[in-house]
Amino acid sequence: MTPRQLPLRNLKRKPARTAGLLLLVLFLAFSLFAGTVISMSLQRGLGSLEARLGADIIVVPSSAKSKVDLDGIFLQGTTGYFYMDAGYVDKLQAISGVEQLSPQLFLASLRASCCTIPVQVIGIDQATDFSIQPWITKSYSKALGDLDVVVGCKVNADIGESIKIYGENCKVVARLDATGTGLDTAIYCSMDSLRHLLESARALGHDLKISGDPAQVISAVYIRVGDGYDIQKVVDDINLHVRKVQAVRTKSMLTGIADSLSGVSRSVRLLILVIWILCIVILLIAFGMLIHERKKEFAVLRVLGMSRAMLARMMLSESFLLSLMGSILGTALAALLVLPFSTLIEGLLNLPFLLPDTPALLGIALFTVLACLVIGPLSSAFAAFRLSRVDPAAILKEGA
């Protein structure tokens, strides 16, 4: 038995006390890691959502606004469809300030072979699209052929496989990176493919409530406003001059999310703070109570020849070991709960959620462990000081 082995032995021989202190450090690590990851993921989710939308304005038929949840369709990937005449593209083009515009066509699949839940199928006009294709070209650089589809990362289909939509075999040619939004559950194809699918759906007897020529409909128009133009003014112009459509500013769709996101972030940070203050106070009290409980033990060590420095070092080593074990356990537990269940958390918070990449996660884990390795021994510092100065003469008397 050497003084180096003492800290671990002391921890082992007092399992209840050790477990209690370990649990406190575990809470510290858990809350810091889980909280940081969650709030970073929300931030990244919003960033990716902004980038993914790519448009300043989205125009939909004015009837759509009352029928379906637009935020849901564009941000959260809920399914929905509505149609207007393709001729609106030209009318919108005429509005001053509109620099780029591209129509999209929606179809909500009821049963696709890939998916247990309905999937939003989105047809893009490859000649004009600027919002989706930049993402697709990351994984697929060729033009989309007839019935070729690109799937969001959460659609359960591999490249090369076929998925059946309204009886048609669609070939998966690419998968998109995760965005942390509902768009991850969507399927993309060319405008022509989508018209093909529309026909098939109608042939199967589904009433899509298309008024006019099905070959001439679109669902939404994505607009990018030229530099120097006021986006709000363009929105107002469209709503004023183009009848039967509704222009929506994407930013206003996102502000709702951004607001609740910063609210959640703030709550998470507040929660971390509260847990930390609470845990540190309890740690301080716990170590403070140790002073009394362990006076005798330290006095004996002193009589046996250990110096004050050795005693202080022993106490600090104990809290260091506790903090090391507690923080690794807490971080691991938080990782185990947060990482695999990110989808669930996204659903619970109803906010876009995009986990940081592996190096960033490792960085947060390291930071968490380091923070605990500082806080743990620091909260035992007073106890270490007092115990190292215990007076052996006053304690080692008869009966004591």
Determine which residue in the list 303, 336, 370, 374 makes contact with another protein, applying CB under 8 A: 303
152 and 184 Cβ atoms separated by less than 8 Å: yes
Among another protein, ligand ADP, none, residue 277 binds (CB under 5-8 Å by kind): none
187 and 120 Cβ atoms separated by less than 8 Å: yes
To the nearest whole angstrom, how small is the minimum distance from the Cβ of residue 300 to ligand ADP?
Answer: 17
Q: Name which of 215 and 394 has its Cβ closer to ligand ADP.
A: 394
The yes or no reply on residue 306 touching another protein (CB under 8 A) is yes
Strand (E) or helix (H) holding 123 = strand 119-124
Q: Name which of 366 and 393 has its Cβ closer to another protein.
A: 393
Q: Name which of 13 and 397 has its Cβ closer to ligand ADP.
A: 397
The yes or no reply on residue 394 touching ligand ADP (CB under 6 A) is yes
253 and 75 Cβ atoms separated by less than 8 Å: yes
Shortest CA distance to 108 belongs to which of 70, 132, 81, 84?
Answer: 81
DSSP track, 59-95 = EEEHHHHHHS-HHIIIII-------EETTHHHHHHTS
Identify residues 307-326 at the interface with another protein (CB under 8 A). 307-310
The yes or no reply on residue 358 touching another protein (CB under 8 A) is no
DSSP track, 215-264 = GGEESEEEEEEPTTS-HHHHHHHHHHHSTTEEEEEHHHHHHHHHHHHHHH
Q: Name which of 30 and 298 has its Cβ closer to ligand ADP.
A: 298
Determine which residue in the list 90, 207, 213, 398 makes contact with another protein, applying CB under 8 A: 398
Identify residues 35-74 at the interface with ligand ADP (CB under 6 A). none
Q: Name which of 159 and 396 has its Cβ closer to another protein.
A: 396
Q: Name which of 270 and 396 has its Cβ closer to ligand ADP.
A: 396
Determine which residue in the list 38, 119, 301, 384 makes contact with another protein, applying CB under 8 A: 301
The yes or no reply on residue 374 touching ligand ADP (CB under 6 A) is no
Among another protein, ligand ADP, none, residue 151 binds (CB under 5-8 Å by kind): none
**Structure tokens that stand for 228 in this block:** 């120097």
To the nearest whole angstrom, how small is the minimum distance from the Cβ of residue 308 to ligand ADP?
Answer: 19
Q: Name which of 8 and 270 has its Cβ closer to another protein.
A: 8
Which position has the token pair 């493919």? Answer: 193
320, amino acid identity: F
Strand partners, 302: none
Which residues, including other chains, have CB under 8 Å from residue 90's CB and lie 6 or more apart?
none
Angle formed at CA 224 by CA 220 and CA 227, multiple of 5 degrees: 165
- Within 10 A of 273 (CB to CB), how many other CB atoms are there? 12
To the nearest whole angstrom, how small is the minimum distance from the Cβ of residue 311 to another protein?
Answer: 10
The yes or no reply on residue 1 touching another protein (CB under 8 A) is yes
To the nearest whole angstrom, how small is the minimum distance from the Cβ of residue 396 to ligand ADP?
Answer: 10
375 and 280 Cβ atoms separated by less than 8 Å: yes
Torsion angles phi and psi, residue 169, rounded to 5: -85, 115
The yes or no reply on residue 300 touching another protein (CB under 8 A) is yes
